[in-house]
Structures are given as structure tokens and as C-alpha cells.
Amino acid sequence: MSPTATNTNAAQDDGGPSPLSLVLSYPNLTSPSTIASLRRAMVGLGFFYLSDSPLESERDRLFALTRRFFSSNHTSPEEKRSIEQEKSRHFRGWSGLGLEHTQDKPDNREQIDLGIESPAFPQGLQPHYLNLYGPNQFPASIPELRDAVLSYMEKAEEVTVHLTKAIEMALGVEEGRLGDCLGLEGKEEGFEKIKALAQRSTPPTDAELEDALPRFLPYERMKLVKYGSEGNPQGVGAHRDGGWITLLATDQQPGLQVEDVAGQWIDVPYKPGCILVNFGQQLERVSSGLIRAATHRVHIYPSPDGRVSLPYFSMPSLRAVIDPIPRGEMSAEALQEEESRDAEKRMGGRKTVVPEGDLHGSATEEFGHTAWRSLIRSHPNTFQRWYGKVGA
């Protein structure tokens, strides 16, 4: 354990006082008692374990292929470079140790960045966030990886939709109030329209663009991550995820830590049969701050193999404007649960190393602009290569 972290023993404790003791069962997600636990996680640390989700049947295959990719016995430096992220104007592909930055410091991890697989808009269009759609880059020597990633993402999308419904219930807002932000309904039709534009030789008119990027077009990202086995202790620096809901599958090696309200780092242990769920800043914003986006980081503990993790980030549609739901529209149960923060208020509020709401958009801003700011901050080299001359 790091000298600054507290070991919570969460794995042995499924209902006690530990802030990390919440284990929610996916098959029972919408039962009244699970919704009550979800509310606790929403106003508490913003982190919980989810057991028996459809991702359990996918994760072993994806972990094995991810390890194979990162093994120096399998993948040569040339092959990694052949899919490097800087080659993709969609910010997809491999980046080496130290290339991603959090809070302006390099992270000691290498990764493949992935996103929803889709056709790309023609180059040079505005707004820049249109470039976030596009194809992924997969390594030629592991042809199975493509299918493993895409079917993992499909299941993850299903989990996100179900979790979003449960959160609507926990807040007491009408069905679809949050789900509509995800834009999943227009997926197939929207991608067909992008493809048609991409195949044409003339640039699209504003009206055609507007038609191709309807309000309901989804966006999501994921990473296959391998942390350094020694050296720089910042695996990934303290941050709050910028999206909607993050589903995180990890191996058994320690490193993940979450910040409690007093600003103390708590180790988040691996728990068999579970993935971790944490909320992103767009859910925090849409819930007027009732839901908390957890601050977390990964600390590097020296190990022979290096830790591997698979974070999946669901996001609002790039066109969604995240409009905060007034407290008056939420249920009495949700507001009552929030009163558990009274003690925190008496302490003078939450102590945190990351500015509150650092990736909240404005009242009129489409989420795409926020997503763009977040990516160009984390991947300055890719940004510089493709967009440096034209600015953000």
C-alpha cells in the first residue's frame, strides 16, 4: 500500500461503513434495495462494484489479447508504432509510456485508445469535434482483437443503458430524462449518413451536416491500458472522468485509488466477479451535483508484469447539451440521501486536488466541445500534429 493510502478491506465487507463497500448486483439492479444502494454511491464516493454484469463473459478474452499485445515477446516496437495514436486524427491507436498527460504531467502507462467504430467525416470540417468519429486502429498480428473489443463495447453499451435507467429511478426523474442524452437511438441511420458524406467528392453543406449529425448519435470510448512496472509513480494522475459512466475492469494488481471527501487516497481492491463503476462529470452536471464524479488515480507499485486495465467510458451524444435537472424535480429519497453530506459541509466541504467541475460545459455548449477539450489536453502530440496550425 502507498504511504498515503488507507486499506479499506472492501472485499470482505458488503454493507458496512466503508465508503467502498457497495456491491450492486446487475441482475437485481432495479430492485428497491439496489436502487437505495445506488443512491448511496451517487452521493457518496461516486464509485461502486457491479457484480454479474454481461461484461464478465467478455473480459477474460479481452484481457488475454491485451496482455498479448503489450508483451514484448509478441509485439515489436515497429508494430506498435504502425498503429500509433498520432497517426489518427480521431485520437485512436497506441501511445507509448509517458505520452498521455494528466494535470500536465506524463502518465506512466501505454495504451490503445479506442472509440465507437464508425465512418469518419471528411477532414477539415467544423466543429473540430466531428473528428472524434472514425475508425479504430488494430494491430495486424492480433486479428481477433477487433472482434473482442467491439463485442466488449457492445455489452458495455448495454450495461450503461441499464445503469442509466437505474439512475433515473434513483433520482426519481422520468424514464428517458437521462437516457436521451446518450443518443443511441439514431446510431445505425446516423452512421450511414456519415458514410454517404465520406464517399462524396464535394464537401457537405451546413444543412447536410446538420442532417448527418442529428441530436441522437452516440459516442463512447475505451482504452486497453498497460501500466509501467517501475519508475514514475504516476500511473494516471488524479482526475475525474469527463464522461457519463465509466465501467472499469482491472486485473488483480493494486494501484487504483479514490479520493475520499477529506482528500485521503483509498486503495480500491480488485474484487472477483465484479467490474468497478464510477460516474463522470456529465452525470455530475446533469444531476446538479447530486451525483458525484469520483476523483481517482493509479499509483505505480513496482511489479514484474505491470498492471493491466480496461476502462470503458460511456459519453453523452456529442450533440447533447447537458442541462442540469433542478433539485425540485428529484424525489424526496434522493434529496434525503444527499443530506448524508451534512457532515462534509460542516468540515468546510470536500477536499480535493482536482478542481470541481473542470469538464462541465456551459448552458449552451454541446458536449462535443467539452469532449474535444478533454482529449486535446490529454494528447497534446496528436493534437499538435493534426490541428496545431488551425488552433482548438
Ligand X SMILES: O=C(O)CCC(=O)C(=O)O
Query: Torsion angle of alpha carbons 324, 326, 330, 332, nearest 10°?
Result: 140
86 forms beta bridges with none
Phi then psi dihedrals of residue 236, to 5 deg: -140, 135
State the nearest-atom distance from the C-beta of 348 to ligand X, in Å: 27
**What share of residues in the chain are helix, strand, coil (percent, to 5)?**
35, 20, 45
If one asks whether residue 280 binds ligand X (CB under 6 A), the answer comes out as no
Nearer to Fe ion, 105 or 200 (CB): 105
Q: What is the rounded CA–CA span in Å between residue 57 and residue 75? A: 26
* C-alpha neighbours within 13 Å on the C-beta side of residue 101: 13
225 binds, among ligand X, Fe ion, none (CB under 5 to 8 A by kind): ligand X
Of the ranges 7-15, 135-143, 200-208, 248-256, which one interacts with ligand X (CB under 6 A)? 248-256
Of the ranges 14-22, 144-152, 236-244, 286-294, which one interacts with Fe ion (CB under 5 A)? 236-244
Q: What is the rounded CA–CA span in Å between residue 204 and residue 206? A: 7
Written as nine digits, the cell of 141 is: 498480428
156 binds, among Fe ion, ligand X, none (CB under 5 to 8 A by kind): none
State the nearest-atom distance from the C-beta of 102 to ligand X, in Å: 9
Q: What is the rounded CA–CA span in Å between residue 2 and residue 234? A: 12
If one asks whether residue 298 binds ligand X (CB under 6 A), the answer comes out as yes
State the nearest-atom distance from the C-beta of 46 to ligand X, in Å: 12
At 208, the amino acid letter reads E
309 binds, among ligand X, Fe ion, none (CB under 5 to 8 A by kind): ligand X
Cβ distance 269 to 276 under 8 Å? Answer: no
Residues of span 20-49 touching ligand X by CB under 6 A: none
Residue 337: closest CA among 37, 78, 16: 37
If one asks whether residue 225 binds ligand X (CB under 6 A), the answer comes out as yes
- Out of 296, 319, 360, 373, the only residue in the binding site for ligand X (CB under 6 A) is 296
- Out of 220, 241, 267, 338, the only residue in the binding site for Fe ion (CB under 5 A) is 241
298 binds, among ligand X, Fe ion, none (CB under 5 to 8 A by kind): ligand X
Q: What is the rounded CA–CA span in Å between residue 323 and residue 335? A: 19
If one asks whether residue 371 binds ligand X (CB under 6 A), the answer comes out as no
If one asks whether residue 309 binds ligand X (CB under 6 A), the answer comes out as yes
Please state whether beta strands 5-6 and 265-267 pair in parallel, antiparallel, or not at all (unpaired). Answer: parallel
Residues that bind Fe ion (CB under 5 A): 241
Residues that bind ligand X (CB under 6 A): 223, 225, 236, 241, 248, 250, 256, 296, 298, 309, 311
